[in-house]
């Protein structure tokens, strides 16, 4: 939904959208009814296009969103090209309503839940055995458990989106990852 929206939350992909919508619903917030469209962009490098079309020089929607730390520069450049001022290096993105995830949103969700609770979510999806097999692969040997879990969630088509929603459903609303909490608080519905 974009038509009829007053705010566009720009996220990199469908898994990020699933997590945002799931957490909002758990908090009793209907983003669609509040005029907030969560828009997956198909990657961080598309920020300039989406910000130009949806933002102040396009449809005039208020923009907000999430990005990964290593794509901070792409976001700053794209938002600047779309007419937004994000020159303040320390807080420019947050001031505009964009919040930065350390590695990615899945990493933030895993950290907020912890390894054991994330493994419980995987078990609830009927994939404990597949995770065990995955962890035996040579490339996974010696990697931290949280890194293994994050990689595991991206090994099958559609799995990242499914796990983003499942992890977000398992979160204690009082312990949301800071970028997600900041985003939702900034929407002030």
Query: Tens of pLDDT along the chain (189 residues)?
Result: 577 889 999 999 999 999 999 999 999 999 999 999 999 999 999 999 999 999 999 999 999 999 999 999 999 999 999 999 876 555 678 989 999 999 999 999 999 999 999 999 999 999 999 999 999 999 999 999 999 999 999 988 889 999 999 999 999 999 999 999 999 999 975
- Phi, psi values for residue 74, rounded to 5°: -60, -45
- Residues forming beta bridges with residue 101, ordered by sequence position: 68
Indicate the SS3 state at residue 178: helix
CB atoms within 10 A of CB 7: 20
Asked if residues 63 and 183 have their Cβ atoms less than 8 Å apart, the reply is no
CB atoms within 10 A of CB 155: 11
The pTM score is 0.93
Q: Which helix (H) or strand (E) holds 20?
A: helix 14-26
Asked if residues 122 and 128 have their Cβ atoms less than 8 Å apart, the reply is yes
Indicate the SS3 state at residue 9: strand
Structure tokens at 181: 């909490």
Token look-up 């990852």 returns 177
């Amino acid at each position: 939904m974009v038509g009829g929206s007053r705010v566009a939350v720009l996220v990199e992909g469908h898994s990020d959208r699933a997590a945002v919508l799931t957490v909002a619903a758990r908090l009793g917030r209907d983003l669609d009814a509040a005029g907030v469209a969560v828009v997956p962009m198909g990657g961080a490098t598309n920020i300039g296009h989406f910000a130009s079309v949806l933002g102040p020089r396009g449809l005039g929607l208020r923009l907000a969103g999430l990005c990964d730390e290593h794509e901070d520069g792409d976001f700053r450049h794209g938002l600047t090209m779309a007419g937004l001022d994000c020159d303040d290096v320390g807080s420019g993105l947050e001031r505009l309503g964009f919040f930065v995830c350390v590695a990615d949103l899945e990493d933030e969700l895993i950290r907020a839940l912890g390894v054991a609770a994330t493994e419980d979510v995987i078990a609830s999806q009927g994939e404990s055995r597949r995770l065990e097999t995955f962890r035996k692969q040579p490339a996974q040997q010696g990697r931290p458990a949280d890194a293994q879990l994050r990689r595991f969630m991206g090994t099958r088509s559609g799995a990242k989106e499914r796990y983003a929603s499942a992890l977000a459903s398992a979160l204690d609303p009082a312990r949301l990852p800071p970028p997600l909490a900041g985003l939702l608080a900034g929407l002030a519905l």
